[in-house]
Amino acid sequence: MIETAARTDVREPVRTDAAIRPGAAAGRVADGAVPLAPLTDAGLEVPVLGGGTVRHVNLDIAASAPALQAVAAHVARVLPYYSSVHRGSGYPSQAATALVEDARASVARHVGARDGDLVVFTRNTTEALNLLATAVPGETVVLDIEHHANLLPWRDRRVVVARTSIAETLAALDAELASRPAALLSVTGASNVTGEVLPIAELARIAHAHGARIAVDAAQLLPHRRVDLSASDLDFIAFSGHKAYAPFGAGALVGRADWLDAAPPFLAGGGAVEHVALEQVGWKTGADRHEAGTPNVVGIAALARALAELERLGDAEREAHEAAVTARLHDGLDALPGVRVIRGFDDADDRLGIATIELERGSVGLVAAALGAEHGISVRAGRFCAHPFFDRVSSRSNGLRASLGAGSTADDVDRFVAALGQLVAEGPAFEYSRTPEGWCPVADDRPRVSFD
């Protein structure tokens, strides 16, 4: 069935002052006036309905972040040396091998890995957690707030419904782990729906007090905050390059070796074996055990370089920049009538640059489509691969999420809030139909992008 949104008077896209170019006013980074770091989509112009172009505003960073320009430049430098790893005799092969193993050491250092911890390269966080799930020797306890990647892989799963406060949720987890033994507590470092940050060091203390290990889904947290296994006493973390400004198909699982060495190889194939006979296979231990086949050399190099760039930007500088644009975002949303920001906890005093809203009336899917087609602003509508959590804390079937990152500015926030307010008050300027693929302009005069 096709639904149609009524057309109103055609309006110009909402504009504010153009964003200051990166580096134009370094002292203003802390107030969000300039990007913290240049990304590959900086200055991208996109077409809008009715003709013309506007500067693209990317507020879908929580889904996938563009590459840092420094990461893209690094990839361009290493591409000529791409070759087979570990077994090639030529110079490019030796260079590619060094890239992978140097990246492994860099990732380990960035996340505070202990001596003996493994860094296993994967495609993304989902694959990393699925790998860990094959190694857990017992039950896993999770919260209902988890992204599906940290909810679905566990074979023996016990789910604790989060309470209205973090303090009460910690008490509930403590009670659940005390009720009967569990091998693992696996929790998100920060909600991908609300941006609320969990106290992972305190969660680690609770898990260890009951003889369980802890794994942290750091897909959202790591690109914004330093995550340190040693300092927080974590056993495992999983994260993705595509959320950390390295969208080249690599992620990682980092943590204790014993479970991973005892687990069956995640992939069966070349590189994971010591020897093979028709009747018997001798499997390697260590990271090689779970990295059969040709690795994603370019993605791994990009991931390590992205983490190094985040270090170079500085932990305090990253937090200050994000705090400024996040506060501006929430202040703007709080001032809009008919808009409610979704929260999971009433005592969460730390949140990333993520805000998910629901509308008192109207479709967030239609609003998201109009933001993109009429204003050049990318957001996300849906339940964000966290259906149980979203369904519990929301009153509507879908939400609209805006998410910020290192390339975000105060101007981006202002354009979004102004456009959202206009759409909520007046509706879209063009006609849209609801199709199985979502809301789409009935007459889309924007040219299709071509990369030929």
Which are the catalytic amino acids? Answer: 385
Distance CA 301, CA 252 (A): 12
Instruction: Report the candidate in 215, 285, 216, 294 with the shortest Cα–Cα distance to residue 249.
Output: 294
Distance CA 231, CA 210 (A): 20
Do the strands 380-382 and 377-378 form a parallel or antiparallel pair, or are they unpaired? Answer: unpaired
Helix or strand holding residue 99 (H, E): helix 91-110
Distance CA 84, CA 82 (A): 7
Do the strands 140-143 and 184-188 form a parallel or antiparallel pair, or are they unpaired? Answer: parallel
Expressed in percent and rounded to 5, the helix, strand and coil fractions of the chain are 35, 20, 45
- Cβ distance 374 to 439 under 8 Å? no
Distance CA 56, CA 411 (A): 11
Do the strands 140-143 and 157-160 form a parallel or antiparallel pair, or are they unpaired? Answer: parallel
Distance CA 87, CA 275 (A): 15
Q: In what order do the strands lie in the sheet with 157-160?
A: 118-122, 251-255, 236-240, 213-217, 184-188, 140-143, 157-160
Torsion of CA 219, 221, 226, 231, to 10 degrees: -90
Distance CA 390, CA 145 (A): 8
Distance CA 300, CA 57 (A): 28
Distance CA 204, CA 167 (A): 14
Longest dimension (CA), the chain: 74
Do the strands 399-403 and 380-382 form a parallel or antiparallel pair, or are they unpaired? Answer: antiparallel
Distance CA 161, CA 169 (A): 8
Distance CA 266, CA 287 (A): 11
Helix or strand holding residue 215 (H, E): strand 213-217
What is residue 435's three-state secondary structure? Answer: strand
